Amino acid sequence: MLNHFNKALLLTMLSSASVAYAQRVTEDFNKDWKFFQPRNETFNFNFDNGQDFKPSNIDLWESVTLPHTFNKDDMQRDNNFYTGNVLYQKKFTVSDAQKSKRTFLKFEGVGSVAKLYINNKFIGEHKGGYSQFAYEITNSVNYGKENVLTVIANNQARKDVIPVNQFLFPIYGGIYRPVSMITTNKTNFVVTDYAAPGIFVSQKNVSSKSADIEIKAKLETTEKTIQNAVLESSVINKEGKTVAVVKSPVNISPQGTTYVTQDINLKNPHLWDGVRDPYLYTVSSKIIVNGTDTDVLKQNLGVRTVEVIPGKGFFLNGKHYPMHGVSRHQDEWGYGSALSYEQHKRDMDLMKEMGVTTIRLAHYQQAPQMYELADQYGFLVWAEIPFVNAVSYQENDNAKQQMTELVKQNYNHPSIYIWGVHNEVYSKTKDEQVPVLSRQLSDIAKTIDPYRMTGAVNGYNQVDRPENLTTDIQGINHYFGWYGGKIGDLENWAQGLEKNFAQYKVILTEYGADGNMDIGAEEVKQPADVVSGKSFPENYQTETHIQQWAIIEKHPQIAASYVWNMFEFAVPMWNRGGINARNLKGLITFDRKRKKDSFYWYKANWNPEPMLYLANRRDNMRKNPVSKIQVFSNLKDVKIIVNGKEYQAKNGVNAKHWVIENAQLQKGTNTIKAIGKSGRKELTDEMTWTLE
């Protein structure tokens, strides 16, 4: 029996639910899917002819829950992987009560071309495996009856869809990100504007005393008459208090889209200050018709300014901001690209542990949750489209589409500071495909969003190559000591920047080396063949990062830098370094279970939390009785004890690098211990080496 309190609570919950349902409802649409993958290449789905598809053997269907990819195994092992058409189907019912509403389906990512059918009727096609897309199905469903949604997904590389090949990373297939059903009233914020949120929140004239917030809304109605409405937008602080409100009367026409711009002046704003203080407001906008809220949207607002000053570096809210950067691919061993929110968050937590302040989400638009988490963690983000690695001369339209999607869908994330237009695509003159298309892509981004910078990335170490300088910032990928030259050549390049490009904004967007944790070596030696070689010892990767970070931190002309990569990732076309189909440049293994020495090197340099770590612990089989021992630590004094004998460590390349050059080893097992103090607390680390 319900008591009075429980009855009141139930009535409140039911009332809240009815109010919420009267506005916008977003429902999980990820369960109870059926999946079919053909067993031969000649299988014909026949959907383009309007025919129903029914596999002759029902056992061919597999029950799946989204997100789902059919490449989680084959693409991670070798180049013998499946690409082509696969089929997803889901049966669902839309209640009669929704006849007076509007119904949409929103997909967060399908690899890489998707065709949608409702009850065998074609709804639309989306090209591009990394951006969101939405379609209205209001007029295609049978209300009160069972409906069938069919999605044909195809992940074959094709010349008119970027990326145009599978060489640098795999194009995983399937509905590998979540799907939702959105129900709105007939008068609503636009859902199908490249799957953008419906409002665009901009900020100008930002300081600690004041900020001008601009809200641009897109409204529409399918009612038969003009709707006399009020657009009310509020800024709500982290504590839930409304700090500013603006109301605008608006007549929403049943013809076309109605555009509204609102301005709010925010007094004494609490600034979003990156990892130092990622403070977020909420902008809540609602459409009110006859006193009733017909649609409500909520978006993050982080009030901040970002500036790059050549020769000085990055400035967030007028204060120098350390750009401790890594890049991230979205796949994981055993999962492919079909990751959960918890897996995305775990990746961000690992970055936070290492002391990351900025992320390059490469080489494509990543899951919406990643940008949301970046807002919350305070990571500045380089966001980009997959115009990468190769040029087909047929990708123009799709590249422009994906740039539009990237900017519109992620416009409101304060974490994003730059839109990336290309990575490692080349031309011989400034008149060819790459620079021309790059300028067009930059113009699209700047037209939609004039408040952020654009960037292009080159794989050579020349700032003024023909395909460069089409954007606000020039990114350079260069692996000194790996794909050419020596590790220390980065110093000469940095000095060249200061001499020849002192007024340019330049970022080192990729650097590093492969490292296989299961291959130990006593001698630090550059591999002779980094393209087809089968032995990439971890210690060379460690040495690369030790030396190159020490160079980077001394040269503010390198405005920011991004380690390639935070995590190992799949490359089906590769067989290098001792593990097939793997790029081993990650600081953490593909399964996220083991951290390499380089991870701890950056943690010592970037994370102020006291730490101490003995490096080269996997290089434990030794032949030389006199050895170098390295410790990564942000403590002010470190001792190293070898078999009971104490050595006073000295700084190496910088203050976080502690070294003894001539430690004496004994035959057999050697116990090595590092000791340092943080206040009254003693930190220790220990490892063993064996002298053969």
Give the largest CA-CA distance in the chain.
91
Residue 187 has pLDDT above 80, yes or no: yes
CA distances from 217 to 184, 192, 196, 259, 263 (A): 16, 13, 11, 6, 11
Instruction: Provide the pLDDT for residue 61.
Output: 86
Q: What's the pLDDT band for 90 if we cut at 50, 70, 90?
A: very high
Radius of gyration of the chain (CA): 28
Report the share of the chain in percent with pLDDT over 70: 94
Please give the average per-residue pLDDT across 560-565, as a whole number: 98
Task: Give the E-state strand segments of 94-178 in sequence order.
Answer: 102-107, 113-118, 121-127, 133-136, 146-154
Instruction: Provide the pLDDT for residue 52.
Output: 53
Please give the average per-residue pLDDT across 397-418, as a whole number: 98
Each residue's pLDDT tens digit, 528-548: 999 999 999 999 999 999 999
* pTM recorded for the entire structure: 0.95
424 catalytic per annotation: yes
Among 406, 340, 413, 338, residue whose Cα is nearest residue 372: 413
Instruction: Provide the pLDDT for residue 23.
Output: 85
Quote the DSSP letter at residue 543.
H
Q: What residues contact 600, with CB distance under 8 A and at least 6 apart?
A: 611, 613, 615, 632
* Distance from the Cα of residue 104 to its chain's centroid: 26
Query: What is the distance between the alpha carbons of residues 318 and 217, in angstroms, rounded to a whole number?
Result: 30
Q: What's the pLDDT band for 18 if we cut at 50, 70, 90?
A: very low
Instruction: Provide the pLDDT for residue 174.
Output: 98
CA within 13 Å, CB half, 136: 13
Q: What's the pLDDT band for 7 if we cut at 50, 70, 90?
A: very low
Domains of the chain are 25-184 (2.60.120.260), 199-301 (2.60.40.10), 363-609 (3.20.20.80), 621-691 (2.60.40.10)
Each residue's pLDDT tens digit, 121-174: 999 999 999 999 999 999 999 999 999 999 999 999 999 999 999 999 999 999
Query: What is the distance between the alpha carbons of residues 340 and 30, in angstroms, rounded to a whole number?
Result: 12
Each residue's pLDDT tens digit, 622-679: 999 999 999 999 999 999 999 999 999 999 999 999 999 999 999 999 999 999 999 9
Each residue's pLDDT tens digit, 142-155: 999 999 999 999 99
Instruction: Provide the pLDDT for residue 230.
Output: 98
Residue 283 β-bridge partners: 235, 299
Query: What is the distance between the alpha carbons of residues 379 and 359, in angstroms, rounded to a whole number?
Result: 7
Each residue's pLDDT tens digit, 342-389: 999 999 999 999 999 999 999 999 999 999 999 999 999 999 999 999
Q: Which helix (H) or strand (E) holds 11?
A: helix 4-22
Each residue's pLDDT tens digit, 289-319: 999 999 999 999 999 999 999 999 999 999 9
Catalytic-labelled residue, pool 108, 384, 395, 424 = 424
The two three-digit tokens of residue 346, written as one number: 């775990």
Please give the average per-residue pLDDT across 566-572, as a whole number: 98
Instruction: Provide the pLDDT for residue 13.
Output: 37
Each residue's pLDDT tens digit, 448-490: 999 999 999 999 999 999 999 999 999 999 999 999 999 999 9
Q: What residues contact 448, with CB distance under 8 A and at least 6 apart?
A: 404, 407, 408, 411
Query: What is the distance between the alpha carbons of residues 125 and 113, in angstroms, rounded to a whole number?
Result: 7
Each residue's pLDDT tens digit, 48-76: 544 555 555 555 789 999 999 999 999 99
Instruction: Provide the pLDDT for residue 4.
Output: 40
Total residues found in the chain within this entry: 692
The two three-digit tokens of residue 612, written as one number: 């101490």
The two three-digit tokens of residue 264, written as one number: 């709010």
7-38 exposure pattern, b = at least 16 Cβ within 10 A, e = fewer: eeeeeeeeeeeeeeeebbbeeebbeebbbbeb
Please give the average per-residue pLDDT across 216-240, as a whole number: 98
Among 466, 402, 394, residue whose Cα is nearest residue 429: 466
Report the share of the chain in percent with pLDDT over 90: 93
Instruction: Provide the pLDDT for residue 357.
Output: 98
Among 425, 476, 480, residue whose Cα is nearest residue 455: 476
Give backbone dihedrals phi and psi of 648, rounded to 5 degrees, phi first.
-90, 110
Instruction: Provide the pLDDT for residue 95.
Output: 95
Q: What residues contact 529, with CB distance under 8 A and at least 6 apart?
A: none
- The alpha-helical segments, DSSP class H, found in 179-281 are none
Each residue's pLDDT tens digit, 604-613: 999 999 999 9
